[in-house]
Amino acid sequence: MKDHERTPTWAVTTVEAPATAPPVPATPPPLPPTAPPVPTMAPPVPAVAPPVPAMAPAVPPAREVASPATAAAGRRPGSDGEHALQLRYGTAERADRFYDDQVLDHLNPRMREFAARQEMFFLATADRHGECDSTFRAGPPGFVQVFDARTVAYPEYRGNGVLASLGNLEENPHVGILMIDFFRDRVGLHLNGRARVLTDAEMRAARPDLPVDPVPGRRAVVWVEVSVEEAYIHCAKHIPHLAKVPPQPRGADRERDWGTDDVRRKGGDFFGVAAGAGDRAPRRAPVRGRHGAAAADGADPDQWRREAERALARARRREAAAGEPFSGWFR
């Protein structure tokens, strides 16, 4: 091997090159074979980026939170008021998960089975002015009739004659039902929808297979048929677990007295209200609402009487269509 190949000519040296030394090349010679070129660490970027592997999916877009206006267009369950509060308190995403996971516009099979075996529920209604009333309904297992995924009905038994819930439904068909199983599942079912009131004859004409309760006090005077619009769970975390008291002998704490008019058996004057009735001023007949709104409106009893007569006329027409003369709601 020649000297200029063994020691590159661009190396710094203090020895003057001999006269016979070859001329310095214009460019440095290539590296010797013992020093291969260093491989490139980063290959050129392709013109089109390869697809992201399955193990690293793209980040999904942020969940859109509907505004109250969007909700009113029908894209979210619930009211404008609840949507506005969700945005104010930062719970809209949590509420959306509940809407998506739990809220239906019908009863699924498990809901239908649950409703059909309940012995009681809580009922909420309101009149046309939004004045609310809540009450309680009970019966033997199966007293709530579940006809299909969108229709249920319950009987109205003989009561105190006030007809607060039925009166509200005459003005405003929206109804809210809450069924809670305190004894076995310790969970609840909300059922919201629109109701209509039917006589027992009308209901049986439409549904001939409707059973007849053997207990006279549990025979329906009218029925309330509900078209389901919303159904969803009431979670178990605050529901107490209760146990039924075994049937008691007669004379002790008795079983329920279905349909009775006996004041004592209905609870008597438990809150002492009747005892002070003589000290209270007589009430004026209300025309709007049940809480003194009639006096504020300047309405008089004659106007109330005319409205009552129109309501009775509608009831008589329904009874006439069924072939029986109307003689009052409760006989």
109-125 pLDDT, tens digit per residue, is: 999 999 999 999 999 99
Most confidently modeled range among 17-26, 111-120, 281-290, 295-304: 111-120
Return the DSSP state at 271.
T
Mean pLDDT lowest among 48-52, 96-100, 120-124, 225-229: 48-52
Mean pLDDT of all residues in the chain? 77
Q: pLDDT-derived band of residue 174, with 50, 70 and 90 as boundaries?
A: very high
Q: Is 143 exposed, middle or buried (0-12, 13-18, 19+ CB in 10 A)?
A: buried
**Which residue type does 244 have?**
K
Looking at per-residue pLDDT, the higher value among 253 and 207 belongs to 207
Percent of the chain with pLDDT over 70: 66
Q: pLDDT-derived band of residue 27, with 50, 70 and 90 as boundaries?
A: low
Question: What does the pLDDT read at residue 256?
Answer: 81
- Asked whether the beta carbons of 126 and 133 are under 8 A apart, the reply is yes
Mean pLDDT lowest among 45-49, 64-68, 174-178: 64-68
Q: How far is residue 46's CA from residue 240's CA, in Å, rounded to a whole number?
A: 65
Q: Is 230 exposed, middle or buried (0-12, 13-18, 19+ CB in 10 A)?
A: middle
The strand order across the sheet containing 151-156 reads: 132-138, 120-126, 174-181, 187-199, 222-234, 151-156, 145-148
Indicate whether this model's pTM tops 0.75: no
Q: How far is residue 105's CA from residue 317's CA, in Å, rounded to a whole number?
A: 33
Q: How far is residue 173's CA from residue 190's CA, in Å, rounded to a whole number?
A: 17
Q: How far is residue 183's CA from residue 201's CA, in Å, rounded to a whole number?
A: 34
The string of pLDDT tens digits covering residues 49-73 is 555 444 444 433 333 344 343 444 4
For residue 191, give both structure tokens: 């059922």
Question: What does the pLDDT read at residue 275?
Answer: 83
Return the DSSP state at 75.
I
Question: What does the pLDDT read at residue 65?
Answer: 41
Q: How far is residue 144's CA from residue 155's CA, in Å, rounded to a whole number?
A: 8
Question: What does the pLDDT read at residue 32?
Answer: 52
**Which residue type does 91 have?**
T
Q: What is the dihedral of CA 249, 250, 253, 257, to 10 degrees?
A: 130
Q: How far is residue 77's CA from residue 87's CA, in Å, rounded to a whole number?
A: 15
Q: pLDDT-derived band of residue 265, with 50, 70 and 90 as boundaries?
A: confident
Q: How far is residue 265's CA from residue 277's CA, in Å, rounded to a whole number?
A: 20
- Asked whether the beta carbons of 194 and 174 are under 8 A apart, the reply is yes
Q: What is the dihedral of CA 71, 171, 292, 308, to 10 degrees?
A: 170
**Taking Cα atoms as reference points, which of 300, 277, 159, 284 lies closest to residue 224?**
159
**Taking Cα atoms as reference points, which of 52, 85, 51 lies closest to residue 67?**
85
* 74: Cα within 13 Å, side-chain hemisphere: 2
Q: pLDDT-derived band of residue 296, with 50, 70 and 90 as boundaries?
A: very low
- Asked whether the beta carbons of 224 and 203 are under 8 A apart, the reply is no
